Amino acid sequence: MNPTAWGMNRAASAALLLLLGACTNLTAVSTFATLGSNATSNTTAIDSHLPAAQERARMASPERIVERKQQAIQAADQVKVADLGMKTLSLYFAVLAQLSSDKTIDVKSSAASIAGSLKSLGVIEPTISAPATSLITLLLTVPLDVWRQEASAKLIDGANEYVLKLGVALKDFAENTANVYDLDISQANVYYRDLATRSTDPAIRVMLDEWRVQHIMTYAKARDQAKVLAQALTQIVQGQSDLYDKRTELTGAELRRLLARYQDDIFSAAKLF
């Protein structure tokens, strides 16, 4: 190759750097997807559906106790299904995060190495080594960048229907678990006060009332965790919906603004457990 073909001035070098900077910035997508993956990787609040159902069976009225025990057994299978759902949703966002990450297409070190070798071989002049490195980086990055942007859009497009369905169902699962804990709170009020009614001993009544309050506090804590997860999943679903709507302009400022609105709620779920 004629070394003069590489001859370029500082203006051309600056233009190349500008072009490189203009490559796709999917940081907002990657950050949102990473948060979504982290928030759905922990199944503690989902798993708490089982003890909620078991407590319901323990305190059930005599005529419903067999039915509630059967439902508590089924709850174990329901939790397994929901856990698989959480893992799948987490994997979807992990894959999207990786696809949209700048690291996936980072070839700067290889480009620098190639430019250095071309300089050693005398293909390029030492004076234009820096712009040549920029050009090589650009030439290698652009096709990879287009590739990952198209692949991100394709994933968001193809998976959207099922991500929304799964996200909504998991949000409902968490919300339902919160409801069951709320019902356990009411059931504890009925159960322990009914037991206390059968005794005339004040000490026993005090002891049963303490148990009632202790159980209620435990249920309230588990309920609140389930509600935080439900809220985070709501924001994750909203974010996915925005990603789908803006899938042809994933680098846009409006999408960055939309995704930023959800991050606080999702982050609070991610750090909760």
Partner 1 sequence: MPHAAVLAPAIADPVQPILDLVSSLIQSARAIDHFIDNQPNPYSPTCQQLRRKEQSIIDSANDLSELAIQQITESISDAVTHLQSNIDAATETIKQIASTKKAITIVAALLAAAAGIASGGTLAAVPAILTLASQVYAAVASANG
Considering only residues 107-166, where is the footprint of partner 1 by CB under 8 A? 107, 110-111, 113-114, 116-118, 120-121, 140, 144, 147-148, 151, 154-155, 158-159, 161-166
Q: Does 169 bind partner 1 (CB under 8 A)?
A: yes
Encoding tokens for residue 40?
């759905």
Q: State in angstroms the smallest separation of the CB of 84 from partner 1.
A: 6
Residues 175-204 that bind partner 1 (CB under 8 A): 175-176, 179-180, 182-183, 185-187, 189-190, 193-194, 196-197
Residue pair 6/132 in contact (Cβ under 8 Å)? The answer is yes
Q: How many angstroms from the chain centroid is the CA of residue 120?
A: 47
Q: Which of 16, 23, 35, 170 binds partner 1 (CB under 8 A)?
A: 170
Q: Which is nearer to partner 1, 42 or 189 (CB)?
A: 189
CA 192, 196, 198, 204 torsion-angle sign: positive
Q: How many residues sit close enough to partner 1 to count as binding (CB under 8 A)?
A: 79
Encoding tokens for residue 95?
């894959």
Q: Which is nearer to partner 1, 138 or 183 (CB)?
A: 183
Q: Which is nearer to partner 1, 12 or 140 (CB)?
A: 140
Q: Which of 42, 238, 251, 263 binds partner 1 (CB under 8 A)?
A: 238
Q: Does 257 bind partner 1 (CB under 8 A)?
A: no
DSSP output for 141-198: HHHHHHHHHHHHHHHHHHHHHHHHHHHHHHHHHHHHHHHHHHHHHHHHHHHHHHHHHT
DSSP output for 19-37: HHHTS---HHHHHHHHHHH
**Helix 129-197 and helix 49-58, axial crossing angle in degrees, nearest 10:** 0
Residues 39-78 that bind partner 1 (CB under 8 A): 49, 56, 61, 64, 68, 71, 75, 78
Q: Which of 13, 31, 88, 218 binds partner 1 (CB under 8 A)?
A: 88
Q: Does 15 bind partner 1 (CB under 8 A)?
A: no
Q: Which of 39, 135, 233, 259 binds partner 1 (CB under 8 A)?
A: 233
Q: State in angstroms the smallest separation of the CB of 10 from partner 1.
A: 26
* Cα→Cα distances 259→102, 156, 216, 224, 239, Å: 18, 14, 37, 24, 6
